[in-house]
Structure 1
Amino acid sequence: MPHFDVAIVGAGAAGLFCAAQAGQRGLKVLLLDHASRVAEKIRISGGGRCNFTNRHLDIRTGHQHYLGQNPQFARSALSRFTPQDFIALVQRNGIAFHEKHKGQLFADHSAQDIIAMLLDACDRTGVQRWQPCTIDRIDHIDTGNTAQGAGRYRLHTAKGIVQAHSLVVATGGLSIPKIGATDFGYRIAKQFGLPIVALRPGLVPLRFAGDDWAPYAGLAGVALPVRIATGEKKQAMAFEEDLLFTHRGLSGPAILQISSYWQPGQSLRIDLLPQLDVAAALQKAKATTRKLLPNVLAQWLPGRLADAWCQRQSAWQGPVNQCSDKALAQLAQSLSGWQLTPSGTEGYAKAEVTVGGVDTQALSQQSMEAKGKPGLFFIGEVVDITGWLGGFNFQWAWASAHACAQALEAAPAPAA
């Protein structure tokens, strides 16, 4: 039976990076994945160019870009492997990259460059990779050598039975099942008695009921910058990002960001013109032009949206100089305080991440090791840490993988 210092389940961002880092430390590493293609989520991310980190992440307040029952849990790993550390790695490998928006870094050529970098690091350090390879069962074998913390993990795989001193679960979440996402990591956690924080889709488009959405269904493809908010008091969250109308609801960065915080039944509050004092601008237009109100709005909004918006009330369809002050005030309020309640999300099929996961209370924030379960580690998306849109989830994958890899131990030598 083959023996390894560590078996890593899941060859995505976290699993690949952890394997390479552990290999660099001289450990004997086995990396397994059930999918036939490696790192599919890296490959499709960022429009195929992989938004691999965000240079604006401040290690002193980095947890503010994450959610979970305890976002502070992420600080330790994020402070010990920073965006600058991963940027330096990308530069050493000669991968050209650029910044698009708000610190978001993308490979110039292709996400495949990032995958190739990680695979090369694994190959150079002797990591054995079995893919595709399913796992039928995982057993914990207690050797009784507690002085050395010598737990053993036996994996019954499609390529035979293997044994490892440590087991790292890097299986990701439920998002995008068509590229291989499963609940396998959560099942492993439950097998070993670790609690799971309730799962739901994150960074996902939102849907609206048919009748409520009918006035806007024809706006698919319209995009504009907005300010969007949900929740109340301490649970309130807001973002200023671009909004995109779709046939069934809303998407774009603004919606993806807020979706991770939105709860079923809550309303969204959207300011469609956050950089404009709409009431004052409409009063000025009333005093200076005879344009139809939809044409006035088209100075600040996409034309299709301006037309559709003014169709909501007959008082908003005539010349602006003939509109009453009350009608203009109502129009201004509707644009700056649009409230609507989603009927749901587009689900895991369209979600970029999974919110929830292995409860961080059951893990060490220094090593990602399960408390009371020597040699069992959970890293990346399978953990209850979810980042904002813009490279923060990949940075959590790198950082949690690095923290884990530095804590892994070689298997103790057999007793003489």
Structure 2
Amino acid sequence: MKKLQLLIVLLCLGSLTTVMAQDLSKVSISGSVDAYYRANLNAPNKGGFAQAPGTSFANQPGFALGMANIITAYEGEKVGFVADLVFGPRGADAVFNSTGSANIVNQLYMYWNVNDAVTFTFGNFNTFLGYEVISPAANFNYSTSYMFSYGPFSHTGLKADIALNDNWSLMAAVMNPTDLTEFNPTGSYYGGLQLAYENDMGGTWLNLLYGDQDGKLDEDFPLVPGQMSGGSTFQIDLTTGFDVSDVVYLGLNATYNTTAAGEMYDGTSISDADGDGAGFYGVAGYVQASTSDRFSIGLRGEYFNIFNDGLTGDDGWTPVGVDENGDGNVFAVTLSGNYKIVENFTLIPEVRLDSMSEEDYFVNNELTGSKSLSSFLLAAVFSF
């Protein structure tokens, strides 16, 4: 009897080991690490006068850290998950949350492949809008564009991806307000849509986003006189990119974002706030060419405009110099090289020029106002 019991235990352990081995084969670990050196060419690089373009990431002087990105994924036949964690300054700048905690979760979602045509995704996922992404391993330019920096970074919600045929697909989503990733404190939601066409040469994606970022004011809760709530936000975004030859790639991103004036509490009642909508729009073109198996060069040109103080913070800071009406624009040109030391280790030298429509946004080496800033950057990105 004891021998029979031992045999049963060994058979059970063998079966369990086989199941675990099969499950582990579906688990993958990937990610990247990056760091950079950055210096202004026509402006100070130390003290309170050190400046950088008003875009996300790559904005510190001297040698600086990017982030460590660790992605664990389980890919089953029907279901799976992605846990994407980030550490370091770039990761901290990329992760928004509802509570102010030290959140390191860049993405955390599960998915269900209902059939060959339909997939549901539930959780926190990076935005479907725009050309660029958070991870530097997936961008050609190391510094980022204005449109990427002020479009959404991430969403938390439920989305459905539907393959219409071999080339066309549709995505529909219901989500928390933009970048509220841990939970929803506002009671309002966003809707998202994407229509995509893809083939072996590239693709085109038309994206729509609509919703209320901070919810409606409520007289049943304590209100502070002068308290305001923004109205509904609408954003339309077009992204496209194609290989036009074996060595040349062309890309384009255009976006328009506007938020209505919303509501205001004057101490006695809630009424519609005065004023027109505020927001931003822009367009960027990308040209990349491979000169060899190990080196390629690319140019990004971007025009970005904000209107009616669309991106002005509570402290009055704005990423673009504006006039008395809250309108302003910037033209930025970025030239980057990609040199692969090995397949997964890339050096990125980069020269960038930002030119504002308004004077005195930057400070030059003589400590006088300037409308332009030129800078040099060298980044190293290792992916695994």
Same fold (TM over 0.5): no
* Higher share of residues assigned strand: 2
Q: TM-score when scaled to structure 1?
A: 0.22
Structure of higher RCO (CA pairs closer than 8 Å, 6+ residues apart)? 1
TM-score (norm. length: structure 2): 0.23
Q: Which has the higher helix share?
A: 1
